[in-house]
Amino acid sequence: MRPHRHQLLPDIDLVPTSPVRGVTLESQSGAMRELRAAHNQAALGYRERDDLMTAWALSSSLSRRDMAVATGLAKSRVDQIIRETYEHERALAARACAERVARHTP
């Protein structure tokens, strides 16, 4: 199973597992850190895009067809992303609510 598009990878010290001969380990580690940062930026970009589409869908301020045009995605994919994002936000809110209730029950 591949990781979710919003998944951020931890900011840890990366060390090459298959070093390239003739290239310093420091250079390879630096390239790995740069690649990790780019991955995490992409994940944050997807999260921002998905949150924007969900907000506009909930407020009926932009059609899903126009969201598809703007993002280069199929309308069905836009619908799927909005549904997934909305359901995820609802699950987070429900969990937070349950935690608050649990703190106040004997």
pTM of the model: 0.75
CA gap 29, 1 in Å, rounded: 27
Please tell me the total number of residues recorded for the chain in this structure. Answer: 106
For residues 5 and 14, is the Cβ–Cβ distance under 8 A? no
State the pLDDT at residue 89. 85
What is the distance between the terminal CA atoms of the chain, rounded to a whole angstrom?
A: 40
pLDDT string in tens for the chain (106-residue length)? 666 778 899 988 899 999 999 999 999 999 999 999 999 999 999 999 999 999 999 999 999 999 999 999 999 999 999 999 999 888 888 988 888 888 888 7
State the pLDDT at residue 5. 78
State the pLDDT at residue 1. 67
CA gap 73, 71 in Å, rounded: 5
CA gap 106, 22 in Å, rounded: 65
Q: What angle is formed at CA 22 by the lines to CA 19 and CA 28, rounded to 5 degrees?
A: 45
How many Cα atoms sit within 13 Å of 19 on the Cβ side?
11
